[in-house]
Amino acid sequence: MQVAEIHHTDRIKPRRWLISITPVLLLFVIVAGFYWKLTLTNEYTWLESPDLANQVLPWYQFQTGEWHAGRFPMWDPYQWYGQPLIGQGQPGAAYPLNWLFFLTSLRNGWLRQSHLNWYFVLIHYLAALFCYWLCRDLGRSRPASILAGCAFALSGYVGTVDWPQMLNGAIWAPLVFLFQLRCLRGERTYASAAASGAFLGVAWLSGHHQVPIFLTLASAGVWLYGLLIGLDKRRRTIAAGALFTAVFILSSGLQTLPALEYGKAAKRWVGSSEPVGWNDKVPYAVHKTYSATPDTLTGLILPGRSHNTDVFWGVVALSLAILGVAALWRIIEVRIFAVVAIAGLFTALGGYSLLHGLLYSMVPLVEKARSPSMAILVFHFASAALAAYGFDASLKPDSLWSRRVAIALAVFGMSMLALATALSATYKLAGDTRWILSGLVAVLMSAIVSARRTGKLSERAFAVAIIAVALADISNATSYSFVSTEEQNRTVYLKKLRQSADIASFLQKQPRPVRVELADAEIPYNFGDWYGIEQSGGYLASVTANLVAHEFYSARFRDLLSVNYSVASDPPRPGTLREGAVEVYHSSVSNLRVYFNRSAYPLVRSVHNIVIASDGKAVADLVRQNGLDLRTAAILQEPAPEITRCDAREDRFRITRRVPGSVDITVDMKCAGLLVLADTYFPGWKAWVDEKPAHIYNAYGAIRAVAVPEGTHTVIFRYRPVSVFAGATMSASGFLAAMLFTLVRKRRKAY
């Protein structure tokens, strides 16, 4: 008898496990199959756009190389004379899931195309999985939750945006709200609050700040609503909200602290006439420029109607969301998601919305999210949850609201098809005609809902039919824009990455340190990150303000910053080359020429003359003027170290190690002087002279220097930013706190 009972238990457990794991596997199959262009062929790419090819791919190439070299990528020496990589945020250096990708994605020194494709697909799979878990936690059926997961991951913001740094922040929205709603329902209140804060922290670690800002606003709104409806539990809600906030702030620290440090020391190009600093508000005119426009709201169901961000959501998802609100308004979660969706939609309208204007004026950091259209994510996420409710509501036979929705869909679909027929008879339809398919989807959706309402379709058949039509509807917009390798007129940006390999090879073989200026019309991408060669500029959204304060495109400033090579067209454009430049290489592939600039100062040099300037403007003026020989004199804004006058030409230097975030130099000084390293000055750099800590001077208002006594010495520079190490400690503490709250409650429950 005992044996029989054991066998019976063993039969039940695997079956339960299989039932629970099946939707997870099914979602993977659906997402991978939906992106068949990337997973089953090598003919398409999602990377053919200027931002992805020119900026994101080089960032990922650099970070992958650093991880494989055993270094955490904090400093990028290859753009703009060196910039803090993690502080920029967008490269996603602080995002743990990126670390796994970087560790597995290098072959023969280069990123693997297949891994990049699967990286993109897995982002969407996680989005589907997280939304599925949310809907199941809300009590929705498995088919409804699968539909909601597919809608969230494959349509709307997540389905149409291709910037991974923005996608990675968006996909955590379901888990933030899953645990927040658990908390407000009183289910393990503090453990749920801590988990919600931790997942919001992960969203902030992902890279770009815009989506996390809008997601934080939405979450704050739900907390406020919880306070209003739970008057009898106000103290508990306040305590849970405080815990949520603390865990969120801590867990996001690895990204937010370095970003705050960098933001205060940088200038950002936002689309206004001048770059803005941390204390400068992004002008509201810029926000209006990057808002969704009212006329594009038709793009919620008609593909191709977009401005700044694609708002497409699809006929199936939108009609089910409306059905969910209408039929199940009595459920408090439905009311919450409905309000969140409407708030997200009006925030996305930006300059056309009073709500966004108030948020811009009154809430900190909102003004830094210059693209209000990105807030459409909040609408799409909340609508996905509502669609799950609508799906379950439509399962009920003789549902009044199902009947009304079916009639509305039939009217809309037949109108679209009739219009298409009339136009085809009168004119030859041209341009984007995908809206006709939306009409067909509406008719099919109406027929399926009607068949279920009258009992002609079983629940299983209804679920399969709805999900199939939804995927057909979504594919009308989401993967439509992937570029085929056969489309020669569209494969523009990725080709550029391959056309300068011979130039890079030539520069990498040079015996001296190389820093190159590029003809950006011919080489628009971040050449430095892609090939590991230092360049004087780069395709970045922001640059440290100490460089912007100078005329950084002037020949004098580039000589000071040791820009010793130029790549230009044949013949070179006027003003491209500096006086005395000599041709040293001619590319047979791109027809570009490499020139050596003999006037460039050495990367490492010494000076024995110091000029003190009163402020930053005086420094920039002295650098700009030709009266001061910058080769022999340094400009400082602080008390000068003790140095001795002697001939700097007798000093000797040898760079023994130079990798990202680390420079070792052996020097032989004939007398005490200032050793100048022509790399960007930035907080976080430490220096040692013969293993003794040394002060780093801000020479010329832009580059690093240390005082070195007479004789032979070893000078070491290391990038050791307090913001990164403190941020890492904060993040570890936040995640540990969330885990402890969960484990402690579980242990108490066991007792």
| Spatial contact of 105 and 116, defined as CB atoms under 8 Å apart | yes
- Report pLDDT for 9: 37
- Report pLDDT for 693: 95
**How many helices (DSSP H) and strands (DSSP E) are in the chain?**
30, 24
Residues in contact with 8: Cβ distance below 8 Å, sequence separation at least 6, in sequence order: none
Any idea where the domains of the chain sit in the sequence?
Answer: 22-46+112-424+431-481, 604-720
| Spatial contact of 446 and 407, defined as CB atoms under 8 Å apart | yes
- Report pLDDT for 18: 56
Q: Is the pLDDT of residue 137 over 80?
A: yes
- Report pLDDT for 10: 39
Residues 6-56 have pLDDT tens digits of 333 333 344 565 567 888 999 999 999 999 999 998 888 898 888 999 999
Question: What is the largest distance, in Å, between two alpha-carbon atoms of the chain?
Answer: 102
Three-class SS state of 706 = strand
Backbone angles phi, psi at 673, to 5 degrees: -160, -170
| Spatial contact of 599 and 555, defined as CB atoms under 8 Å apart | yes
Q: From CA 198, how far away is CA 202, in angstroms rounded?
A: 6
Tokens of 609: 């003359």
For the chain, the straight-line distance linking the first and the last C-alpha, in angstroms and rounded, comes to: 31
Residues 331-363 have pLDDT tens digits of 999 999 999 999 999 999 999 999 999 999 999
- Ranking 146-155, 579-588, 678-687 by mean pLDDT, the lowest is 579-588
Which ranges constitute the DSSP H helices of 454-487? Answer: 459-475
* Mean pLDDT over the full length of the chain: 88
Place of tokens 């004098």: 556
Number of Cβ atoms within 10 Å of the Cβ of 297: 15
Q: From CA 732, how far away is CA 430, in angstroms rounded?
A: 56
Q: Is the peptide bond before 571 cis (omega within 30 degrees of 0)?
A: yes
Q: Positive or negative, the Cα torsion across 506, 509, 511, 517?
A: positive
As a whole number, mean pLDDT of residues 181-185 equals 93
- Report pLDDT for 616: 87
CA angle 275, 276, 280 (to 5 degrees): 160
| Spatial contact of 697 and 705, defined as CB atoms under 8 Å apart | yes
- Report pLDDT for 397: 67
Tokens of 709: 């006594």
Residues in contact with 344: Cβ distance below 8 Å, sequence separation at least 6, in sequence order: 214, 218, 375, 376, 377, 378, 379, 380, 381, 382
CA angle 685, 555, 522 (to 5 degrees): 90
CA angle 659, 208, 302 (to 5 degrees): 135
- Ranking 237-246, 709-718, 738-747 by mean pLDDT, the lowest is 738-747
| Spatial contact of 673 and 646, defined as CB atoms under 8 Å apart | yes
Q: From CA 245, how far away is CA 239, in angstroms rounded?
A: 10
Tell me whether strands 44-45 and 483-484 are parallel, antiparallel or unpaired: antiparallel
| 610: β partners | 634
CA angle 111, 115, 118 (to 5 degrees): 150
- Report pLDDT for 445: 83
Tell me whether strands 652-659 and 697-699 are parallel, antiparallel or unpaired: unpaired
CATH of the domain spanning 604-720, picked from 1.10.10, 1.10.3470, 2.30.30, 2.60.40: 2.60.40
Tokens of 491: 């494969």
Q: State how far the alpha carbon of 176 is from the alpha carbons of 83, 166, 456, 740, in Å.
A: 32, 16, 39, 18
Which ranges constitute the DSSP H helices of 69-188? Answer: 85-88, 96-104, 113-137, 142-154, 156-160, 164-170, 173-185
- Report pLDDT for 745: 59
Whose CA is closest to 658, among 522, 528, 514?
A: 514
Whose CA is closest to 157, among 376, 465, 470?
A: 376
pTM of the model: 0.91
- Report pLDDT for 455: 78
- Report pLDDT for 4: 35
Q: From CA 344, how far away is CA 347, in angstroms rounded?
A: 5
Q: Is the pLDDT of residue 748 over 60?
A: no
- Report pLDDT for 5: 35
As a whole number, mean pLDDT of residues 154-183 equals 94
Most confident of 250-259, 425-434, 641-650: 250-259
- Tell me the three-class secondary structure of 153-187, residue by residue: HHCHHHHHCCCHHHHHHHCCHHHHHHHHHHHHHCC
Q: What is the DSSP letter of 52?
A: I
Q: Is the pLDDT of residue 738 over 80?
A: yes
Provide the residue type at 435 as one letter: W
**Percent of the chain residues topping a pLDDT of 70:** 94
As a whole number, mean pLDDT of residues 424-444 equals 73
As a whole number, mean pLDDT of residues 222-251 equals 87
- Tell me the three-class secondary structure of 531-572, residue by residue: HCCEECCCCCCEEEHHHHCCCCCCHHHHHHCCCCEEEECCCC
- Ranking 126-140, 162-176, 277-291, 490-504 by mean pLDDT, the lowest is 490-504
Backbone angles phi, psi at 691, to 5 degrees: 70, 10
Tokens of 204: 């902030």
Q: How far is CA 427 from the centre of its chain?
A: 44
